[in-house]
Amino acid sequence: MDETKIEDALTAWVAAATGLPASDPGAKIVWGDQGSPRPATPWISMNWHISESVGHAGMKYTRDQSSNGHDGHELVATSTVLERDRISIQCFAAEATGPNSARAILNRIVVSRKLPAIAAALRAAGIGVLRFGPITNVGAVVNVTQREPRAQLEVFLALVNQATAPDTTIDTVNAGVKVHDETGADVPSLDFTATA
């Protein structure tokens, strides 16, 4: 799984839905715990909370095109695991009500998911949106006297995680069989070679 590709696709979705800039200069959508200064309101912080494996989807073997027929690494083994992830999207706003409130901004993310361009971009990044949690008010006091309107949304995702490693086939097997007659005496052995 390409975490950067997934994070970029999620950031692009939030930017398209909210109209907030996602890149510098003036980025207003950030991934949490980065140690960066707070942007001016309104802005959004995104965080990963849970990533859990929900099952092994399978093992696939493909021919390694880079091996040039050399023995030992003719195949690439790909293990695929399904994951269920949960992210939180927290909006910090200057207004407590109206179209620029934290709740309204987060609601635009929810209603935009099925828009064709957004759905296609999420699908291309291997992201499935399973469901949304409720938008909750998490307002807080800032600078001792000022209340800052905030809201939080949890998004449950389905992702596919893959790992690859070189593998090999067995080209030649040499085997010998010893056969005994009814008296227990050895009969001349039977040797054979199987080549793929």
As a whole number of angstroms, the distance between CA 9 and CA 15 comes to: 10
Specify the residue for token string 């200069």.
25
Exposure class string for 93-119: b at 16+ Cβ within 10 A, else e: beebeeeebbbbbbbbbeebeeeeebe
pLDDT surpasses 90 at 11? yes
Question: Quick one: what percent of the chain has pLDDT higher than 70?
Answer: 80
Average pLDDT along the chain:
84
Grade residue 33 by pLDDT with cuts at 50, 70 and 90.
Answer: confident
The domains located in the chain, with CATH, are: 3-195 (3.30.70.1700)
Cα 59 to the chain's mean position, in Å? 18
Question: Quick one: what percent of the chain has pLDDT higher than 90?
Answer: 43
* pLDDT per position as a tens digit, 134-191: 999 876 666 656 678 899 999 999 998 888 888 876 666 566 666 666 777 776 665 6
